[in-house]
Structures are given as C-alpha cells and as structure tokens.
C-alpha cells in the first residue's frame, strides 16, 4: 500500500491486487467494509485519521489492483462526522496505463501508444511479479484518463 497526497482534502491510496485478498470490489457493501478496515490501518499504522464525508472513486485494474481516490467534502455540519466516516463510492473498472521514458525490453507484452511525445504502455500479456515490479519502478501509473 502506498499513499499520495494531492492536497489537504484529496489523496490516493494504491493497493496491489495481492494485498487486497478476495475482496469483491463490485459489491458496494463489501467495498465499504474494506475501506473502513483500511481507514483503521491508516490510523493505527500511519497515524492518518480519515473522518468526515468522502467521495471515493475506486479505479479497478485486473493486472495492478486498485487505486482509491478520496476527496473530502467540506460540509456545514462537520461536527456530525467527528470521528466518523461516511462516503459515496464509485467503482470504475479500467485498464491502467504506464507512462514510460523508454520502451521496456519486454515490449511485446504491451500495447504501446505514443501521445504528445509520451510513451504509454498498456499490459496485454500477463506479467511476472518481477516484470510488474520493474514496470512500477520505471514508469508512472496513469489511471484517471
């Protein structure tokens, strides 16, 4: 799991598929339960408190895993949500792209798109754990386009 802060009220949580277990991300109740457990982990392990009302977009990719994009709504009745979390969840199945500086050695495992002089890789053949790790180390994950 990794966390990327975009602003005080917006952040992303990246979860690799191996870390998510058997969670059904198409079942909103199951997804909400998973998120509440994830928020407990954030508080206990990383000292990050999630409270209030959030719009949560869940980007789901069969190869990578999941990205939770959380945006906190600043509502007038903030004290109502003190020490509580409420959320509206939007699951989106997608295929992540990987922004690369150069073509990888195993380029035959990817669909390659060049847009505005940028190289975007899309996984077309399953990658080994080592190949996936190398991909993540040498590219930038693109999931919201």
| pLDDT beyond 50 at 145 | no
Q: What is the pLDDT of residue 38?
A: 92
Q: What percent of the chain is modeled with pLDDT above 70?
A: 94
Prediction pTM value: 0.84
**pLDDT band, residue 114 (cuts 50/70/90):** very high
CA dihedral 99, 103, 104, 110 (to 10 degrees): 70
Handedness of CA 92, 141, 33, 70 (dihedral sign): negative
Neighbours of 12 (CB within 10 A): 18
Number of other CB atoms surrounding residue 56 within 10 Å: 18
Per-residue model confidence as pLDDT tens digits over 63-93: 898 999 999 987 755 555 567 888 999 999 9
**Which pLDDT value is given to residue 85?**
83
């Amino acid at each position: 799991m990794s966390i990327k802060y975009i602003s005080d009220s917006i952040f992303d949580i990246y979860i690799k598929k191996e870390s998510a277990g058997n969670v059904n991300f198409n079942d909103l109740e199951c997804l909400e339960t998973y998120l509440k457990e994830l928020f407990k982990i954030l508080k206990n392990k990383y000292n990050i408190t999630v409270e209030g009302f959030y719009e949560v977009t869940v980007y789901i990719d069969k190869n990578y895993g999941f990205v939770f994009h959380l945006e906190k709504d600043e509502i007038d009745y903030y004290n109502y949500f003190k020490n509580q979390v409420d959320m509206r969840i939007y699951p989106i199945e997608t295929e992540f792209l990987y922004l690369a500086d150069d073509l990888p050695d195993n380029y035959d495992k990817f669909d390659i798109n060049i847009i505005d002089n940028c190289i975007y890789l899309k996984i077309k053949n399953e990658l080994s754990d080592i190949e996936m790790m190398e991909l993540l180390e040498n590219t930038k994950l693109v999931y919201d386009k």
